[in-house]
Structure 1
Amino acid sequence: MKPIRIVVVDDSLTIRAMIETLLERDRRVEVVGIARHGEEAITMIRREKPDVVTLDVAMPGRDGMMILDEIMDLDPCPVIMLSSLMREGAPIVADAMDRGAAACFNKAMIVREATRFIGLIKDVARGLPPIAMAA
């Protein structure tokens, strides 16, 4: 079985490294690109054709919501939106889902909920229905 190919997009070096480290522990997941900002992400997504993208909401320049819109318009693929603002009932969750996100995950919970985070990536890659909130 081929691994799930992922592009990680976050302006924080610490978060990018943390996500990459968590995902590299699972042989069924392969990080094929890491982007620091939206422009880099779009180029990488077009080139790599990932199965899943993890996308930070708050980034300088074009924020994650703008990048999500661009991904959905030009090169749709499953996107998991990440932010510490992703909490049950938060308007940002509904906005992300309305714009086409496959799921939302609270960035502050990635380490504590690593198993759920990786499971969510696998579910999204398999095309399971969108998940409004995880963690």
Structure 2
Amino acid sequence: MRNSRVLIIDDSSTIRAMVEELLATQARCHEIATAPDVPTARALMASFYPTIITLDLNMPGIDGLKLLDELRGYPHAPIVVVSSASTDGSEAANEAIEHGAHACFDKSKIISESKRFIRTLKKASVVKLRATRALQAA
């Protein structure tokens, strides 16, 4: 995650803290911001300019899929859905990908599969870096 700024969007303070703690151990993850809901996330996206976003699907008010739909068609950081509903091959994971998520990760495995979680975020970061370079070259 080259000089990454990660925005964690989750209504669970425990999950936000767990992800934040994992990311704090990464040398190239320089800044981390957290949002408990979509309205707060919108404000942070406008001022923080994240390079990677983690997003829970099931939140009160505006859910993750609605935010994915809202961002569709606009340039934004790659989004990794981190949700208990997005287990490998699940309908929720497939739907999140269809709505524009870069990848999905099962929230219940953040700690037990922390290395895979970090790799998933790093892959999202590389996708963003390649897209940026392609735009600059054009």
- TM class, shorter-chain normalised? 0.7 to 0.9
User: What residue number does 1:10 align with?
Assistant: 10
The alignment's TM-score, normalised by the length of structure 1, stands at 0.87
More helix as a share of residues = 2
2: CA distance between counterparts of 1:107 and 1:34?
16
Q: How far does the alpha carbon of each residue in 1:17-60 deviate from its partner, in whole angstroms, 9 at most, with x for none?
A: 11000100111113431101001101111211111100011110
Alignment of 1:94-133 (within 5 A): 94-127=94-127
Residues 71 and 77 in structure 1, CA contact (< 8 A), matched pair in contact too: no
Ranges of 4+ aligned residues in structure 1 off by more than 3 Å = none
The alignment's TM-score, normalised by the length of structure 2, stands at 0.86
Alignment of 1:1-135 (within 5 A): 2-127=2-127
RMSD: 1.7
1:108 aligned counterpart, secondary structure? helix
2: CA distance between counterparts of 1:38 and 1:75?
17
More strand as a share of residues = 1
Residues 5 and 30 in structure 1, CA contact (< 8 A), matched pair in contact too: yes
By how many angstroms is 1:71 displaced? 2.4
By how many angstroms is 1:69 displaced? 1.5
The percent of aligned pairs where both chains have the same amino acid is 35
Aligned residues: 128
Residues 20 and 32 in structure 2, CA contact (< 8 A), matched pair in contact too: no
- Amino acid paired to 1:77: A
2:127 aligned counterpart, secondary structure? coil
1: CA distance between counterparts of 2:31 and 2:95?
27
User: What residue number does 2:135 align with?
Assistant: none
Q: How far does the alpha carbon of each residue in 1:65-96 deviate from its partner, in whole angstroms, 9 at most, with x for none?
A: 11122223444220001111212221111111
1:54 aligned counterpart, secondary structure? strand
Residues 97 and 103 in structure 2, CA contact (< 8 A), matched pair in contact too: yes
2: CA distance between counterparts of 1:74 and 1:3?
22
User: What residue number does 1:131 align with?
Assistant: none
